[in-house]
Amino acid sequence: MTRGPGPLPAWLPVVVATVAGVVTTLLVLLAPTVPAAVRAPDLHVAIETANVLVGLLVAVLVLGRYQQDGRLHQLLLVDALVVLAAANLALGAAAAMEESAAVESLRWASVLGRLLGSALLCASALAPTGARLTRPRARVLQGVLLVTAVAGALALLSGRLPPPVLVRVVAPDGATTLDVHPVVVVSQAAGLVLLGIAAVVFTRRGLSTGDRLTLWLATGTILAAWARLHYLLYPSLLSDVVYTGDALRAGFYGCLLVGALQEIEGYWRLRARSAVLDERRRLARDLHDGMTQELTYILARSRTLVAGGTHDERTLVRIEDAAARALDEARRAIDALDREDPRSLADELRGLAADLAGRHEVAVEVDAADGPAGAPSPGAVDQLLRIVAEAVTNAVRHGGARHVRIALVEAEPAGAADPAAPAARLSVSDDGSGFSPRAARRRRGQGGYGMTSMRERAAAVGGTLEVVSAPGRGTDVTVTW
């Protein structure tokens, strides 16, 4: 048998990114026919816009992780991505504006914002993965970063800084050269070192933990480090020019996008698996609490009858009731496994009523409408159906009822002042002989009418059970939740 290709090694994207950076750099330095820059103002704006959107998307995903775990390195990564997105936004805005003092301020904001973002990215890589922040401390850290960013933006917008890059004409034929401010050079060199450190640490962490988002972050950080090297060789702050450094930086965000998509895919796969496991646990719990208990009771009573050699009529009736309940449990479990889409409580009640009517040869009327009251969780629906089945069975077997009415209604009108008021009421009424609830409670140790199990099921859905009955007047069983 021929096997299909297995999953790609985790280290492969890291190696590919490293090789891509080396090859691109060698081509730019050694191949005269490969241009280091092309004039494309529209492409420049598109690249910066895409970088901003992808950075913010990944920041939101990492923020979701932080809200679950509260880890320091996750918060630092969120801050780094947001600051880098702001720097990209500043450069994109500068590319879309006419040359002015404001444009130069935006370029400075981009330079210093990238440096701050690189520092935060390196801090995220170096921060212990087990370090956690409490919510107040996290808010303080974010507040400090926000104030720093705002203060820096106000200072840059003052227009007092010299241009970060100045284009000069140095020959009569129009040849030009770039005068780069020393702060820009130092910033790019520092960013190269910071991103190189972050790339190494992220790679080790991703390979050791197998976390896909961290691996793609490491891959992208490698490309970002190579981009900083290209920015040292060819400064990229002109609005209408796209450099090789811009392409490598776009690769950084492309890797982040791949990691984000895999993160989202993993989330939905985990959610689907969790739903399956929850349903399995629910079925196992229901079978244990229902059918298993009934079969155990049947077995114990049957052994008692065999050992005693007697045929107590009351015991035989109880065995018959337990067998009927066990059969109901089995049917419900099979129906739940066979059904593809969950049905509303109203639909479930109609189906159960038809089944009970045919089995007990009794008229069962259902008055239920779909709506907020008829939309509890699947586990609550199952508990409510068991209460209804028990109430109808008791009405027929013990009360001799010929007509049963099941009603599902709103317990409180919409917009009730008390938000904790019950949402719905489910009642089962019959025309049977009725009984004395007080006498039934006294006989509970001998079996009663299953009131204990119904009350427990009502409590399981956060509701209460009320039974109103009297000899010769039928019975009303009401669940309010």
Cα angle, residue 468 at apex, residues 467 and 474 outer, rounded to 5°? 115
d(CA 393, CA 399): 9
> Does 414 score more than 50 pLDDT?
no
Are 250 and 51 a contacting pair, CB within 8 Å?
A: yes
List the structure tokens of 265. 């895919």
Are 95 and 48 a contacting pair, CB within 8 Å?
A: yes
The stretch 74-97 carries a mean pLDDT of 85
According to the model, what pLDDT value does residue 356 have?
A: 86
List the structure tokens of 443. 């006989």
According to the model, what pLDDT value does residue 336 have?
A: 64
According to the model, what pLDDT value does residue 344 have?
A: 81
> Does 105 score more than 60 pLDDT?
yes
According to the model, what pLDDT value does residue 48 have?
A: 86
Are 462 and 423 a contacting pair, CB within 8 Å?
A: no
What's the burial of 115, exposed, middle or buried (CB within 10 Å: 0-12/13-18/19+)?
Answer: buried
d(CA 295, CA 289): 11
According to the model, what pLDDT value does residue 129 have?
A: 86
Query: Which 3 state secondary structure label does DSSP give 412?
Result: coil
How much of the chain is in helix, strand and coil states, percent to nearest 5? 65, 10, 25
The amino acid that residue 112 corresponds to is L
**CA 135 to chain CA mean position, Å:** 20
Are 221 and 121 a contacting pair, CB within 8 Å?
A: yes
List the one residue out of 61, 18, 82 whose CA is nearest residue 213. Answer: 61
- Percent of the chain beyond pLDDT 70? 75
176: Cβ contacts below 8 Å, ≥ 6 apart:
167, 168, 169, 170
Q: Which DSSP category does 420 fall into?
A: T
330: Cβ contacts below 8 Å, ≥ 6 apart:
291
CA dist list (Å): 393 to 292, 298, 428, 437, 453: 19, 18, 11, 17, 13
Report the chain's mean pLDDT, rounded to a whole number. Answer: 80
* 475 phi-psi bin (left φ>0, alpha ψ -120 to 50, beta other): beta
DSSP 247-291: HHHHHHHHHHHHHHHHHHHHHHHHHHHHHHHHHHHHHHHHHIIII
Q: Which of 114-118, 201-205, 249-253, 278-282 is predicted least confidently?
A: 278-282
Query: Which 3 state secondary structure label does DSSP give 438?
Result: helix
According to the model, what pLDDT value does residue 363 have?
A: 94
List the structure tokens of 3. 């096997």
Q: Identify the sign of the CA torsion 132, 136, 137, 142.
A: positive
According to the model, what pLDDT value does residue 238 have?
A: 62
394 vs 102, which has greater pLDDT?
Answer: 394
Q: Which DSSP category does 8 fall into?
A: P
333-391 pLDDT, tens per residue?
766 666 656 678 888 899 889 888 887 889 999 998 766 554 577 778 888 988 998 89
Give 446's pLDDT tier (boundaries 50, 70, 90). Answer: very low
Give 137's pLDDT tier (boundaries 50, 70, 90). Answer: low
d(CA 220, CA 55): 12
Cα angle, residue 210 at apex, residues 206 and 216 outer, rounded to 5°? 50
316 vs 202, which has greater pLDDT?
Answer: 202
Give 224's pLDDT tier (boundaries 50, 70, 90). Answer: very high
83 vs 143, which has greater pLDDT?
Answer: 83
Are 194 and 227 a contacting pair, CB within 8 Å?
A: no
24-76 pLDDT, tens per residue?
999 888 877 777 778 777 887 888 889 999 999 999 999 888 888 888 888 88
132: Cβ contacts below 8 Å, ≥ 6 apart:
69, 70, 71, 72
The amino acid that residue 301 corresponds to is R
433 vs 2, which has greater pLDDT?
Answer: 433
According to the model, what pLDDT value does residue 183 have?
A: 82
Query: Which 3 state secondary structure label does DSSP give 434?
Result: coil
According to the model, what pLDDT value does residue 241 have?
A: 76
Query: Which 3 state secondary structure label does DSSP give 145?
Result: helix
**CA 225 to chain CA mean position, Å:** 32
> Does 291 score more than 50 pLDDT?
yes
Are 133 and 72 a contacting pair, CB within 8 Å?
A: yes
Length of the chain in terms of residues written: 481
Q: Which of 77-81, 119-123, 142-146 is predicted least confidently?
A: 142-146
Domains of the chain by start residue, with CATH:
12-169+176-271 (1.20.1070), 345-481 (3.30.565.10)
d(CA 149, CA 164): 19
d(CA 212, CA 214): 5
Q: Which DSSP category does 6 fall into?
A: -
Query: Which 3 state secondary structure label does DSSP give 239?
Result: coil
Q: Identify the sign of the CA torsion 391, 396, 401, 402.
A: positive
Give 4's pLDDT tier (boundaries 50, 70, 90). Answer: very low
